[in-house]
Amino acid sequence: MIFTVFKKELRDTLRDRRTIMMMIVIPTLVFPLIMSVFMSVSESFQKEAAEKKVKIGLVSNQVGSLEADLLKVPETLGKREFIPFTDTLSLVRAIRADSIQVGIYVPNNAEQLKEAMKPISVTVFHDGTDLGMKERADAYLTYIQENWKKERYAELKIDEAKITPFILAHSNVASSKEMIGKLAGGFLPYLFIAFGFMGCMFPAIDLFTGEKERSTIETLLTTPVPRWKILFGKMGVVVLSGLLAATFNLLGIYLSIEVFNMVKDPVVLQAIKDILSPTFIIMLYALLCPLIIFFAGIMIPIAVRAKSFKEAQSIISPLNLLIILPAMVGFFPGVELNEVTALIPVVNIVLATKELIAGTLEWHLVAMAFGVMVLLAVIAILLSYRKFENENNVIS
Amino acid sequence: MIQISHLSKSFTLNRQQKKELGTTQNSVLAVDDISFECLPGRVHALLGPNGAGKTTTLRMLSTIFKPTKGTILIDNVDAVKDPQEARKHIGFLTGSAGLYARLTPNELISYFGELYGVPKNDIEMRKKKLYDLLDMHDFQNKRIGKLSTGMKQKVSICRTMIHDPQVVIFDEPTSGLDVITAENIIQLIRDCKNQGKTVIFSSHIMGEVDLLCDDITIIHKGKVLYNDTMEAFRAQQQAPNLTAEFIRIVNDQKTELA
């Protein structure tokens, strides 16, 4: 009988346009859309940055070597145009007015200091909110500084290697998969959780409050089917809707990579392909199942008690925030699954999924997180059962 | 057969309900120690003004509500102790009940047939018989949401009768229906009676009661005011017509209480 109820409710739910939007259309499209917006924005920024001619104000009373070298900096470091200024005050005003993007102040005695092989204090004026401009000026000056150093070593007949105590090199032992998992891995569980929740919401309201509002529940309760079986049949559809929303989200990621070729970087592409392995998908569902049952189990008692669709929606919708905020914890790179975070609902599943993406799972912590969610799912089911058994809640 | 003995139902009030009803009491007694019997092959009318406790009584009979006190026997099955078994014998049709708008009549009837545990072959057989009887073949595969009120009512009748119940409960089944659609219900009640089923029927329309019923129970403020055959009711009648007689009985009780 549970399956009979389940089958009917699923058919009914799949014919509801609102549910189809929340369960299939939006979850499938959201990742390709985010990716396409992100890519077009980042491509246009890169293009603009490469093509943009940065106007650099130069305060200098003489035309010395530094000024001459600045004009000779290769264009591979970025296009630029130098504009002379007489004082720093007008230079600052011009930066604030955005008529120039950055300014360089060279002291009057620069040439003498250079000849005496003493350091010149060069000041770069910039607007901190105009990203990348300070770095552009730094790059030009560093280029010149490196060239001058080489000239001085030669002039002083110093072997550069002899005054270099060590050469520092960095070797990243984390694989690309780990890097993506730890730094950006929080984004995926966030999407799965958010859509899992939203996927449950409309069916939960429709199958419980909706039945009350449309007065169809009365006839259902006169059939010789125990109420718990009716509840389980309906709950099964709510849970399935949540899981389907997460699945279509996953499908959206797959489409972005395999069909729309949105990820161009071969290293990142390979890392994402490694992440989306069958083991990952099975593990992901194992973690999502109790979480989605928990979601269904907190929505159903509200939906059972509510007198109208509007009332149920007005209570359940703010719950979305309560779920999304802990789900955002995964965005912070330093937060990891440990004995404490494994006990916090939602946070534990986000962090466990993050570890799963990075391939750095600690099984006892995952088991703890899974156990906590299973326990909460059972409590939520019992609460739903209690509310659904109460005739005052079910009949309006 | 339906046997009701010393049946009572009280509802606990929450704070908001107390405020709405303007009472400080924690509960309200909707049905107060009522007893009567409905016999097979007879139509039993349950009458009463709004808020008398008719719907609560019928909801207890159909096992949606659990009585606070008393017993209900449906075809000798204790509906309080074994509601699931009792439900197999009951068909329940209300004027206010909705249908699943996104399903077709065919899907809905099959669903309820399955819920009542009717074997699949029997469901198909009974569906055909009911469709013939109610002239439903033309719209059996259209979505219910797109059907007219009359068509929907036919679907409701079909849903009520798919498991061939021995006891049929009608709660204001013709309320809000046009004359032609209401006639389908009247015919169904007659058919049930002719087939030897036990029918209990609540209505505000005295003409329907006069036309269909063999027995009558009048309840007011949860108590039984009158319970006898229609013949006896007509015999003791003091007012010029049934409606006036019904009002007289209810008013007499109000005067007694005052």
Residues A96-116: pLDDT tens digits? 998 999 999 998 888 888 888
Contact B184, B157 (CB under 8 A): yes
Q: How many domains does chain B have?
A: 1
| Residue with the larger pLDDT of the pair B175 and A149 | A149
Residue B54 inside a domain? The answer is: yes
Residue B204 inside a domain? The answer is: yes
Residue B126 inside a domain? The answer is: no
B9 in contact with A, Cβ within 8 Å = no
Verify whether the Cβ–Cβ distance B11 to A223 is below 8 Å.
Answer: no
Q: What's the confidence (pLDDT) of residue B243?
A: 84
Average pLDDT, chain B: 87
d(CA B1, CA B77): 10
| Residue with the larger pLDDT of the pair B29 and B18 | B29
The residue of chain A nearest to residue B82, with distances taken between CA atoms, is A224
B66 in contact with A, Cβ within 8 Å = yes
Verify whether the Cβ–Cβ distance A219 to B97 is below 8 Å.
Answer: yes
Across residues B109-135, what is the average pLDDT?
Answer: 91
Residue B57 inside a domain? The answer is: yes
Which element (helix H / strand E) includes B174? none
Residues B161-172: pLDDT tens digits? 999 999 999 888
Which residues fall within 8 angstroms of residue B135, CB to CB, at 6 or more apart? B154
- Cβ burial, residue A268 (10 Å; 0-12/13-18/19+): middle
DSSP assignment letter at A174:
S
Q: What is the pLDDT along chain A (396 residues), one digit of tens a residue?
A: 888 999 988 998 888 888 888 888 888 888 888 888 888 887 787 777 777 788 999 998 777 788 888 888 888 888 888 899 989 999 999 999 989 999 999 988 888 888 888 899 999 999 988 888 888 899 999 999 999 999 999 988 888 888 888 888 888 787 777 777 766 677 778 888 888 898 899 999 999 999 888 888 888 999 999 999 999 999 999 999 999 998 998 888 888 887 887 777 777 777 777 777 888 888 888 888 999 999 999 999 999 989 888 899 899 888 888 888 888 887 777 788 889 989 999 899 988 888 888 777 788 999 999 999 999 999 999 999 999 988 877 776
Residue B254 pLDDT exceeds 70: no
Contact A271, A358 (CB under 8 A): no
Residues of B in contact with A222 (CB under 8 A): 62-64, 87, 90, 92
Verify whether the Cβ–Cβ distance A16 to B103 is below 8 Å.
Answer: no
Q: What's the confidence (pLDDT) of residue B127?
A: 92
Q: In A, residues 182-221, which contact B (CB 8 Å cutoff)?
A: 214-216, 218-221
Amino acid at B121: N
d(CA B258, CA B256): 5
d(CA A383, CA A392): 15
Residues of B in contact with A219 (CB under 8 A): 92, 94, 97, 112, 159
d(CA A355, CA A358): 5
Q: What's the confidence (pLDDT) of residue A190?
A: 84
d(CA A209, CA A306): 6
Q: In B, residues 132-151, which contact A (CB 8 Å cutoff)?
A: none
Across residues B192-213, what is the average pLDDT?
Answer: 87
Q: Which of A329, A291, A318, A335 is nearest to A193 (CA)?
A: A291
Q: Which of B64, B74, B172 to mutate to test the interface with A (most CBs of A within 10 A)?
A: B64
d(CA B216, CA B36): 10
- Cβ burial, residue A304 (10 Å; 0-12/13-18/19+): buried
Q: Give domain limits for chain A.
A: 2-35+176-394, 55-163
Residues of B in contact with A212 (CB under 8 A): none
Q: What's the confidence (pLDDT) of residue A164?
A: 83
Segments forming the whole domain that contains residue B14: 2-89+165-257
Residue in the block written with tokens 């509840």: A231
A396 in contact with B, Cβ within 8 Å = no
- Cβ burial, residue B28 (10 Å; 0-12/13-18/19+): middle
d(CA B103, CA A94): 70
Contact B69, B7 (CB under 8 A): yes
**What CATH number does residue B55 fall under?**
3.40.50.300
Contact B204, B51 (CB under 8 A): no
β-pair type (B77-78, A123-126)? unpaired
Residues of B in contact with A20 (CB under 8 A): none
Residue B203 inside a domain? The answer is: yes
Which residues fall within 8 angstroms of residue A231, CB to CB, at 6 or more apart? A300, A384, A385, A388
d(CA A143, CA B26): 85
Distance of CA B172 to the CA centre of its chain: 7
A39-43, A65-69, B31-35, B145-149 — which is least confidently predicted? A39-43
Residues of B in contact with A221 (CB under 8 A): 63-64
Amino acid at A304: V
Indicate the CATH number for domain A55-163.
3.40.190
Residue A260 φ then ψ, to 5°: -90, -5
Residues of A in contact with B64 (CB under 8 A): 218, 221-222, 391, 395
CA–CA min distance B98, chain A (Å):
5
